[in-house]
Chains A and B, each alone.
Chain A
């Protein structure tokens, strides 16, 4: 009884809000339509829209139509904004073979082209490829009797700290991501690409003050770009540095724009909102593979349904040496690294 009542109250409140916003939207739309072209009116009406997940079916259709009109006009080509739902019975997972990766960054650029990121000032990239040196062999025999503390009574060979300790003995674990060699792979290096790990327990989702970012039913963490307020709490929470902020208006040239988009995926963003890898939602919800995976020239990237026992990703998890990056953060990523 009391729960019923509560439900009704929530419903009434919701209706009232919807009514209020609709009136404001109509008024604003009327003003804008009278004077401005379609695209500007759309931006104005977009301002009044609610969280996409909270919209009614009709509101969703209107929002999609509005975006399609605006993008088609802005970029001068017919643009589609899909709102295809998550596939049922699917949990997406990704595995990356760090033994095969040659650090060519083909995936980085394929991602930028597919997902309509800003191209210059600055170019926004969702994948970072870390270069690590294969080992530092600067052991010094001169330092064998050196170290800290130096004491005559106990010998001078460093009881607490040996003399080679601060010399990056073996693998240094120092990484670099601005490398520009003539050819890859470099003999003395190996590579480790990092992108959104689509955590099952994503810290970024927990901290969002307005739930603009959330985990979809197939396990992908998505963002409603029209609901994000740009507070950047999610960027601060992410231990993988996966999130990118549109500090200014993104620069996406008309001819380079990919007109096949998804509401939660690669539709062009606006300034002041967060964006990140979605496992190419616009492709994967239609049964296709992510752009980075298709682009990889050495086949280091594998993608699939973790719930399907026959899938390649399940085979990898069952037979290869698999590890997860930064497991100590307890985020349960669905992005795995493996070696043959």
Chain B
């Protein structure tokens, strides 16, 4: 049996084996995916009419969640940058985990975009050569390119490193180093381009703003390390992989300063819009105070602002940053949820009110929509869990290429 087959077999057989808790988690996720199979079928056959989207609010929960997954995917570079730029030893081994997190979330994001499109069967129209690519006019085309390239870079980088570790060969060679540098450059790019998709619409006053890319990057800097800290704390607790405290400290510092930048960006935007208070301020005012009794987003706005400023203030205290078992994970969950919920209730839905002809509308997601969103998330977390499990096995040396081990695996696989 050759080495590559052995790698695939060993990697996946380790990844799919675990404690009852592990299986319970996977079972929990597949529950949502099973419901999702039915609701996806409904949406594919009956159309987008089953979602809450209308001609007034044409973007649904799918695209809101897509923007969030782009945040997390881009944040993977925050694990990679310190490892290579500052030669942080603890980070170097963990860089691959960052790549896998990026991989998981960028594929989740692409799936969300497919749910958003009204005719997913016609997506081949975008394949250059077969279809027609409106390049370089359409920002969506840039986004498609950037996301898919990022997916490929991370796929190659992560599995290349894991394979090299598996067969016990040096990993920090020429090819890998440049691939990592490319990933580091590409991470912010998926963000900047995604913000361009929004900011290019002159009629959307709350999106056509120069601070949007910076808001996105700082939100990525906050929410990405938040989930990475949670993942690392879980890995540290349940597996043999050692993750140094300094790694967690560095990540919580990144969250802290990202939240500061985010607060400044919000302050700059709010001031510029609210001081003259022209029609550019209408969406923000609707978000902050409601309009003629339509106030669905008002409590969310203040809650999320409080969460962002509050988390920043809390993280200023070293005692909270060092509380690995209690306060730090709580703050991380708050930051993660605040940025996740910010997407629909601040960024996307209120931006559509007033519409260009002056209508104010609230968005009511449907069951089908919620079920599909949860199914896509479940799919994302499922691939993430399984891939991370396999990667941990390789990093700790539990999964290793041994001639003998390969033989036993071959024996275990029934001959066809």
Contact = CB atoms under 8 A, between A and B. Distances in A.
A163 B268 CA distance: 29
Interface string B43-64: 0001111100111001100000
B220 to A, nearest CB: 23
Interface in A104-132: 128, 130
Nearest to B118: A230
Interface residues of A, number: 49
Contacts of A177: 357, 359
B358 A229 contact: no
A210 B141 CA distance: 8
Interface residues of B, number: 42
Interface in A202-257: 203, 206-212, 227-233, 235-241, 243-249
B53 to A, nearest CB: 7
Interface of A: prevailing SS:
loop
Contacts, number: 135
B41 interface: no
B202 interface: yes
Given A248-B46, A272-B47, A209 B119 contact: no
B138 A208 contact: yes
Contacts of B202: 203, 237, 239, 329
A272 B126 contact: no
Contact of B58 (A211, A212, A232, A239): A232
B353 to A, nearest CB: 13
B203 A238 contact: yes
A271 B358 CA distance: 27
Nearest to A236: B201
A194 to B, nearest CB: 6
Contacts of A184: none
B246 interface: no
Given A54-B132, A203-B202, A209 B138 contact: yes
A211 B132 CA distance: 7
Given A17-B129, A209-B133, A244-B55, A228 B139 contact: no
> B126, B130, B138, B141: which has the most chain A beta carbons within 10 Å?
B138
Nearest to A16: B129
A47 interface: yes
> B48, B129, B139, B144: which has the most chain A beta carbons within 10 Å?
B48
Given A248-B48, A272-B47, A175 B117 contact: no
A273 interface: yes
B368 to A, nearest CB: 12
Interface of B: prevailing SS:
loop
Interface string B107-123: 00000000011110111
B204 interface: yes
Contacts of A27: none
A31 interface: no
Interface in B286-310: none
Contacts of B358: 130, 173-175
A247 B122 CA distance: 16
A177 B132 CA distance: 38
B134 interface: yes
A255 B162 CA distance: 65
B18 interface: no
Interface of A: 13, 17, 20-21, 47, 50-51, 54, 128, 130, 173-175, 177, 194, 203, 206-212, 227-233, 235-241, 243-249, 271-273, 326, 329
9 closest A-B pairs (Cβ-Cβ)?
Answer: A230-B118, A248-B49, A272-B118, A247-B49, A239-B203, A271-B47, A230-B119, A272-B119, A248-B47
Interface of B: 46-50, 53-55, 58-59, 116-119, 121-123, 125-126, 129-134, 137-141, 144, 197, 200-204, 355-359
Given A51-B131, A209-B140, A228-B118, 10 more contacts: A54-B132, A174-B358, A206-B137, A207-B137, A209-B133, A228-B119, A230-B118, A230-B119, A236-B203, A237-B203
